[in-house]
Amino acid sequence: MDDIDEILTGIVTKVSGSKLSDTEKADVYASLAVGMRRLVWPILLSHIPEYLLKEATDGGHPFTVDDYAELIESALQNPATPKEIHEELINALREVDTLVSKAVS
């Protein structure tokens, strides 16, 4: 996952070295964080076993932090999940890097 770290570090470096105000920089960072979550969550949800999703949404018991962790862990047990997340993040971050490069130059 070094690719993600490298691209993300490059984006942060470009934004932090730009002429944007601190408020604008914070907005860029917040948008980046929200975008990454919006990209990852659907992938995780698509890899949670259906029986666990049904149990979580049946309303039979309060949904706990342990239940939440079990759902995430179950999605990550599928070998396709981390691979798909990595690929999607790489593609999205490359696009963001290109946009940031154009915007701050």
3-state SS, 19-88, equals CCCHHHHHHHHHHHHHHHHHHHHHHHHHCCCHHHHHHHHCCCCCCCHHHHHHHHHHHHHCCHHHHHHHHH
Mean pLDDT of 49-67: 87
With pLDDT > 70 as the criterion, what percentage of the chain qualifies?
98
CA distances to 21, 35, 48, 90, 96 from 93, rounded to whole Å, are 22, 10, 25, 5, 5
* pLDDT for the residue numbered 1: 45
Mean pLDDT of 30-59: 92
pTM: 0.81
